Structure 1
Amino acid sequence: MAAKVKPIPDGFHTITPYLIVDGAAKIIDFMQKAFDAKLDHEATKRPDGSIMHATLKIGDSMLMISDTSEQARATTTMLYLYVPDVDATYQKALKAGGTSVMEPADQFYGDRSGGVKDPAGNQWFLGKHIEDVAPGELKKRTADMFKHHGKAA
């Protein structure tokens, strides 16, 4: 009788981001330097040396990555990463080769956040929850933001 396995492996959540990039090794290096990402196991490589699959852990979340292939083309995405110190992580990400998308600032919705773009073009928004905002107050702040800025964040 086969052993029963869990439908979601240990360490994973229901949703797991999977990045398809040109230059996965460079993005893995960026994630390790910027976000203290840990390789879950040795990357599986294709015969040409490109990365077929790698799994990394950032904080309590898993992320998968591979180099582009005929079956899966590179695409960019945006990820929101909660961190204990947005400003320090933002600076660390810039030093790791990221480019600024938005400098850290306190936001109307209750997070301090800022963003960087990795060398493959993925945007990483960094957040730290600093305030619980009640639904009515959030609605008011959202209206005020549109009134003063005239466009979505």
Structure 2
Amino acid sequence: MAGDGERRPSICPTLRYADAKAAIKQLTEAFGFTELAVYEGEDGKVAHAELAQGNGALMLGSKGTGSAFDRVMKDSGTTGVYVVVDDVDAHHRRAVEHGAEILMPPTDQDYGSRDYMARDLEGNVWSFGTYAPEIKG
């Protein structure tokens, strides 16, 4: 159980990258994620990494590690992840400054959100916006 002041997300997207170290650099520098942990195997590949954004987390690792997860994800394609941010325009500027490929500039949506989309170095699509689903409970 989480201690005082700790937050634990209940859903964590998990991605595999051919170059996980480059992915971590882009996700932290261009998209503002915070590195929580990075564990490398003896071969120098990222066996497991955890990054945070707001109250959510992302897990990632290198392709080709031979782990059970790596084997079942072997033929998977790219993915799309939506991340809630407070200031879409500032977030977008940061991504542009760090050379992220922008697929859609900040745009006001009919449902009240302001979003933009970017592609990471290995083709995953990241959407950043102000819309946050309301979980009632």
After the TM superposition, which of the residue ranges 63-72 and 119-128 deviates more from structure 2? 63-72
Q: Which residue of 2 aligns with 1:104?
A: 106
Instruction: Compute the RMSD of aligned alpha carbons.
Output: 1.7
Native 8 Å contact 2:9 2:55 kept in 1: no
Q: Per-residue deviation at 1:124? A: 0.8
Between the aligned partners of 1:91 and 1:50, the Cα distance in structure 2 is 31
SS in structure 1 opposite 2:81? Answer: strand
Q: Per-residue deviation at 1:94? A: 2.3
Q: Which residue of 2 aligns with 1:150?
A: none
Could you tell me which of 15, 18, 41 is aligned with 1:22?
18
The amino acid that maps onto 2:93 is: Q
Q: Which residue of 1 aligns with 2:9?
A: 13
Which consecutive unaligned segments of at least 5 residues does structure 2 have?
A: 132-137
Matched residues, percent identical? 31
Between the aligned partners of 1:121 and 1:63, the Cα distance in structure 2 is 16
Q: Which residue of 2 aligns with 1:140?
A: none
Total equivalences in the alignment: 121
Could you tell me which of 47, 54, 60 is aligned with 1:52?
47
Q: Which residue of 1 aligns with 2:29?
A: 33
Q: Per-residue deviation at 1:91? A: 2.1
Between the aligned partners of 2:35 and 2:90, the Cα distance in structure 1 is 22
TM-score (norm 1): 0.71
Native 8 Å contact 1:11 1:62 kept in 2: no
Could you tell me which of 92, 95, 115 is aligned with 1:90?
92
SS in structure 2 opposite 1:81? Answer: strand
Does 2:58 align with 1:63? yes
